[in-house]
Amino acid sequence: MNFDHIFREYDIRGIFQQDLNQEIVYKIGYTLASVLKSRGEESINIGYDARTHSPILFSWLKDGLQAQGIKVYNMGLIPTPVAYFSIFCGNYANSSVMITGSHNPAQYNGFKITLAKEPFYGKDIQALKEQIYSLQVSHTPQNQEVQNIDVLSQYIAYLTEHFSSLKNFPYPIAVDCGNGVAGVALEPILKNLNITYTPLFVDPDGTFPNHHPDPSEEKNLQDVKRVMREQNIPIALAFDGDADRIALLSSNHSYKGDELAILFARAIAKEIAPKKPIIIGEVKCSAVMYDECNKIGSSVMYKTGHSNLKVKLKELNASLAAEMSGHIFFNDRYFGYDDAIYAGLRALELFLHSSIEEIENSILSLPKVYSTDEEKIPTDEALKFALISKLQNSLSNPPATFPKILDVISIDGVRIIFEKGWGLVRASNTTPVLVTRFEAQSQELLELYKKETLALLDSLK
């Protein structure tokens, strides 16, 4: 059976039993153990999210690891950031696996892997896949001891101390955990800090009975917005299934990932002055974000994907990186990985120094642009990258009617810089689709840029 599709750019992900069955998960553990030993690692921390099949995957994965002599530490039910935290807290292994389907539907699950404190992604995942295909082993249950460890309590204590300035926060807030795992860490922290909050769907339930666990989609914020209106709550935080995506809402605005980057960049610039922060964004971020960050520091455009941004953040020793989807990476005062709980508390800090109206106005007063949401065009997995290459080549000699091009950025797909806007077409690294996004200074130009770019793309198929 072919399992190519589960070995993605940033993680391993698929449907339980259909893709992630006992045989393949055992082999993932068995092969990963060899990689660990080749890097001088002898142990690993494993945690899992709220999905009903996560404990089963844990059992299969640890059997494969233990069969190769790797010591397994069990962190139990935790948010993904706690798995990352486990390798920096200094008490256990330097590597971790988080068993999670993240923001995907309930039937999905997967593995986010960090080895020797570095993301395991891209070519490493593909090499792992090739080793698994040639592996001739069968699942063998292991009776070796698994040591249970309480990293969650350490994480809660760390963030409680780190954010002591938020004690007795002056505003009530709402928190929507979407029945993911954010609540197991966030609620104790909020209680420790004596922050008044209204909880929505904080109990972990891997069937996600209330709404889909992805706060980057507006439709999934309707419940928390209703509670804000009904109870006159001025600030809210919403999280995805494994708590590495954040959404911030205030009375009159829902903040996109690039808008959060602007707010955080400004705050960091004040804290570290006269040093100027380096801020990293991905190719889907607004031109406004890059312009605003360049006013107080310097901005860098880079590839989409949490692993890509973590590596770039360390390489440049940047203060912050951000994705439109709500993955926020703090290297300033933190460890450089995407932690929505940490980012949510950093967001609350903003309101200690400025009123809600001032924060809202600082975003609403930015230059007005018109943009599309991220839109996906189904295509063939084998053809998607070839289409991007064809598009890039065609832009060197576009049709006579095509809008004037100022530049073409090809760091991740094709971002076309027009005179008064831009358009993006990139191949998704996780699904057989092309992802598009457009932005312009007027609605008319937005429609023009989109129409002409998609027409050119269609002519290449």
Each residue's pLDDT tens digit, 235-285: 999 999 999 999 999 999 999 999 999 999 999 999 999 999 999 999 999
Is the bond preceding residue 274 a cis peptide, omega within 30 degrees? yes
Rounded-to-integer distance, Cα 120 and Cα 267, Å: 31
- Six token digits for residue 42: 């002898």
> DSSP class of residue 338?
B
Say yes or no: do domains 154-364 and 370-459 share a fold: no
What are the pLDDT digits (tens) for 405-440?
999 999 999 999 999 999 999 998 877 899 999 999
Contact 259, 283 (CB under 8 A): no
**Considering the chain, what is the average pLDDT of its residues?**
96
Give the phi and the psi of residue 119 in degrees, each rounded to 5: -60, 140
Q: What is the DSSP-derived secondary structure letter of residue 251?
A: T
**Does domain 370-459 sit in CATH 3.30.310.50?**
yes
Query: What confidence score (pLDDT) does residue 1 get?
Result: 64
* Nearest C-alpha neighbor of 377 from the set 287, 452, 461, 308: 461
Q: Report the CATH architecture of 154-364.
A: 3-Layer(aba) Sandwich (3.40)
Helices marked H in 334-396: 340-353, 356-364, 384-394
Which residues have C-beta within 8 Å of that of residue 226, sequence separation ≥ 6?
Answer: none
Q: Give which of 340, 148, 167, 189 is closest to 260, Cα–Cα.
A: 340
Domain at 4-149: CATH architecture: 3-Layer(aba) Sandwich (3.40)
The domain spans of the chain are 4-149, 154-364, 370-459
Q: 439 in helix, strand or coil? A: strand
Residues recognised as catalytic = 13, 102, 327
pLDDT by residue for the chain (461 residues), tens only, comes to 678 889 998 899 999 999 999 999 999 999 999 999 999 999 999 999 999 999 999 999 999 999 999 999 999 999 999 999 999 987 899 999 999 999 989 999 999 999 999 999 999 999 999 999 999 999 999 989 899 999 999 999 999 999 999 999 999 999 999 999 999 999 999 999 999 999 999 999 999 999 999 999 999 999 999 999 999 999 999 999 999 999 999 999 999 999 999 999 999 999 999 999 999 999 999 999 999 999 999 999 999 999 999 999 999 999 999 999 999 999 999 999 999 999 999 999 999 999 999 999 999 999 999 999 999 999 988 889 999 999 999 999 999 999 999 999 999 999 999 999 999 999 988 778 999 999 999 999 999 999 999 999 999 98
